[in-house]
Chains A and B, each alone.
Chain A
Amino acid sequence: MFYLSLFFQYASQYLKTRLTYRVDMVIEILSDLLSQGVNLIFILIVFRHTAFLGGWNRDEIIFIYGFFLVPYAIFSSFFNIWDFNERYIVKGEMDRILTRPVHSLFQIILERIELESLFGAITGLLVMGYAMANLELTFVWYDILIFILMVIGGALIYAGIFISIATIGFWSDSRTDIMPMMYNISNYGRYPINIYNKVIQFVLTWILPFAFVGVYPASYFLNREEWYGYAFFTPVMGLLFFGIAILLWNAGVKRYRGAGN
């Protein structure tokens, strides 16, 4: 309860600041839209030259992309920690965080929310709607509940992976470029997992489980029964990876060296 009211306090504060720099917000939303557009263009162009990708057609791939956008939007709104190392460890802002009586990770999440990224979820729903119309998919009422569960699972997987990477900063004071590169890798979960070889399939399923943010859960809605087992595992993977991230974080905070040493 306390954390929830704190969240609203920060969020309203955030909106106040953001509304002062409206142009910025518009540019940021546009740049998000642009990158979503670019990914769609990639899919559209690829399917100019082929009818199937590993046995999946254009609209199915578009649907997967649309689904992916929803957990991704939630992740980018609330877990903006890609520059954690520079901002909090190198500059020593972590000192300030640690002198306040709220869990340190939660404070950082609050300080770094970027609510405008939630617009990506709308894009995602529209893209999914377009693909569903083309595919003539139908859904029943409980599919909505399953969708919400899958989305939360996916967002938690993303959060878990990126928080775990951020904790490297506690052990190694050196700058790392792993974060931006990880964004590249996360893209591969949006394509049918069966096109990759065993090693990459394994990596995308169990090590950096980005396939759970795209192709696996989406296959449930696409009625691809051969992937149902993985699809329903999405929320479990989410909790698991997020849990591991929290443990790593708490262990990392104990190792924090402070700035200027």
Chain B
Amino acid sequence: MSMYLEMIRVRFLMMLAYRTNYYSGILIYSINIGAYYFLWSAIYGGKEEIQGLSVAQMTTYVAVAWMARAFYYNNIDREIAAEIKDGKVAIEMIRPYNYLGMKTMQALGEGIFRLLFFSVPGMIIVTLIFPVRFDASVTTWLFFFISLVFSFIVNTHINLLTGIMTFFLFNNTGLIRAKRVVIDLFSGLLLPISFYPEWAQTVMSYLPFQAISYVPSMIFTEGFVGQEIYHALLTQIVWVIILLIPIRLLWSLAKKHLIVQGG
């Protein structure tokens, strides 16, 4: 366990080492949220509410969705793909840790870093400029953080899956790119799921993506209340468990692949 904690710490140090990244990161996050705020104000025009969300809730939704993204987003799929291509994975395999576990921990370190040092300063700037409301109750904050942890796990699972796919495809960049686009749309980052037509909502309810962004953002903006919260958290947990299966399967296949092909 302490080994994995060390991984988180090292990742933290690595992130701190990149100064340009840090400063530009805060700025760009703020610009992003700002642009979306105006986009949504324009979409609302004069309307009081759309699909049960007021402008203020929508703005908060967007801000929270981006803040959450800072936490769950990571590039471990690209990293795994690169390590597989360079043949570094073979070396990683003989080290005394679980490769996927280590990648997850690195992602977690990165996520915590981004949350604390990008999102929080970014949020402070955004609240100063835009009418974003962070006065949610303690229980809402609590539920939000619980669901944020699950959204991290679901997203990381999906990233691990896309990363491992590199073993079976010659060039994985297309798939990785496609995955990113799909997650942005179907996770509720760009649009709350409730904005979609009924049939699309039904389809999406069978996909893991809304567990990534829609659930935590809706919990925070109190678009979900009472039973709905528990139901949403449960859905997240179910996806956390279900996604483990293809990861296990593909990973053991990949390991065989590695032994046969020698990297």
User: Residues of A with Cβ closer than 8 Å to B?
Assistant: 21, 23-24, 27-28, 30-31, 34-35, 38, 41-42, 45-46, 48-50, 52-54, 168, 172, 174-178, 181-182, 184-185, 188, 191-192, 195-197, 199-200, 203
User: Residues of B with Cβ closer than 8 Å to A?
Assistant: 17-21, 24-25, 28-29, 31-32, 34-35, 38-39, 41-45, 47, 50-51, 169-171, 173-175, 177-178, 181-182, 184-185, 190-191, 195-197
- Classify the secondary structure of B's interface with A: helix
The answer to whether B169 and A24 have CB atoms under 8 Å apart is: yes
Nearest CB in chain B: distance from A41 CB, A:
6
The one of B19, B45, B184, B185 in contact with A50, judged by C-beta atoms closer than 8 angstroms, is B45
The answer to whether A181 and B32 touch (CB under 8 A), given A49-B195, A52-B45, A195-B38, is yes
In the assembly, what is the distance between CA of A24 and CA of B175, in Å?
A: 9
In the assembly, what is the distance between CA of A89 and CA of B25, in Å?
A: 21
The one of B21, B47, B177, B191 in contact with A175, judged by C-beta atoms closer than 8 angstroms, is B21
Q: Name the B residues within 8 Å of A174 (CB-CB).
A: 17-21
- Looking at A30, A38, A177, A182, the one whose CB has the most chain B CB atoms below 10 A away is A177
The one of B21, B42, B184 in contact with A53, judged by C-beta atoms closer than 8 angstroms, is B42
In the assembly, what is the distance between CA of A195 and CA of B181, in Å?
A: 25
- Looking at A48, A49, A53, the one whose CB has the most chain B CB atoms below 10 A away is A49
In the assembly, what is the distance between CA of A31 and CA of B182, in Å?
A: 10
The answer to whether B45 and A38 have CB atoms under 8 Å apart is: no
Interface contact tally, CB-CB below 8 A:
112
The one of A21, A41, A49, A53 in contact with B170, judged by C-beta atoms closer than 8 angstroms, is A21
Q: Name the B residues within 8 Å of A197 (CB-CB).
A: 34, 38
The answer to whether A42 and B24 have CB atoms under 8 Å apart is: no
Nearest CB in chain B: distance from A209 CB, A:
14
The one of A27, A31, A45, A191 in contact with B39, judged by C-beta atoms closer than 8 angstroms, is A191
In the assembly, what is the distance between CA of A30 and CA of B175, in Å?
A: 9
The answer to whether A35 and B181 touch (CB under 8 A), given A46-B43, A48-B197, A184-B32, is yes
